[in-house]
Amino acid sequence: MKKISQETDKHITETFLDNGADGIVQKRSLDVKPILENNKRLITQNDGYSPDRSLKRIASIPVVVLEIWCKEYHKDQNKGNWFELPKDIQKKILKEKLNSSEFRYFRTSEGRL
């Protein structure tokens, strides 16, 4: 594959590759290290509740990851708009993913959803 172009906007890098007869491939990547480092700091900071205990900080998840989870839900690589999913589906996915030890570094406070 031959690189056509590469663009970086904040932390997301988009690379466009010529894949010959198969067309153009778009590759998106994100440096999640700063987000994960901040999450590790937050999870040890306090219990995540606001001073009046009416709100609780749960997680910090990069939008690219939400897009991936949306595509997994739809089982279609062309349907990755997290914000178009119904709220009940978003909650179901977040509960499943954030209660899993595989995605524990997105959590910013202890507990289960």
Question: What one-letter code names the amino acid at 20?
Answer: G
Please report the beta strands in 19-58, taking only residues with DSSP state E, as ranges in sequence order: 24-30
User: At what angle are helices 63-74 and 87-98 packed, to 10 degrees?
Assistant: 110
Question: How many angstroms separate the CA atoms of 31 and 35, rounded?
Answer: 8
Question: 73 with 93: CB under 8 angstroms?
Answer: yes
Residue-wise pLDDT for 39-86, tens only, equals: 999 999 999 999 999 999 999 999 889 989 999 999 877 788 899 999
Q: What is the pLDDT of residue 59?
A: 96
Q: What is the pLDDT of residue 27?
A: 86
Question: How many angstroms separate the CA atoms of 34 and 86, rounded?
Answer: 29
